[in-house]
Amino acid sequence: MPEKRTERIEVIEKDGTSVVRFRDAKILEDRAIHQMGTELLEVVQGKTGVRLILDFTGVKYLSSAALGKLITVRRRVDQLGGKLLLCELGPETLDVFKIAKLDDYFEICRDQRSALEQMK
């Protein structure tokens, strides 16, 4: 059961790491993207050294505007001296990151377990 559930995300704390799962299979609409960005930034707000895993289980489609929000979150995590990992990207979602040449910008793990291991 999630520790925090908002309109667009669910957050669970595991071993000092915030694990976020998205509630939408398609992250395409402007309002949803804006809300997702706001909710993700609230998760890291003021947390120096924050450890964040974004779990893309169930996400099928992601727009370029959504990628922009994820870049903003990555920059904020970097400013806080934290670490951000992505995991459970399906083939379609991973292709979006590759086409945008962001598969090197974001650290991507195969699954949540390997992402949690990498956070240790």
How confident is the model at residue 2, as a pLDDT? 56
The pLDDT of residue 53 is 99
Structure confidence at residue 4 (pLDDT): 85
Residue segments in the chain with a per-residue pLDDT below the cut of 70: 1-2
Q: CA–CA separation, 58 vs 41, rounded Å? A: 21
Backbone angles phi, psi at 22, to 5 degrees: -85, 140
Residue 28: the pLDDT is 94
Question: How much is the pLDDT for 41?
Answer: 97
Please tell me the CATH code under which domain 4-117 is placed.
3.30.750.24
The domain locations on the chain are 4-117
CB 49 within 8 A of CB 17: no
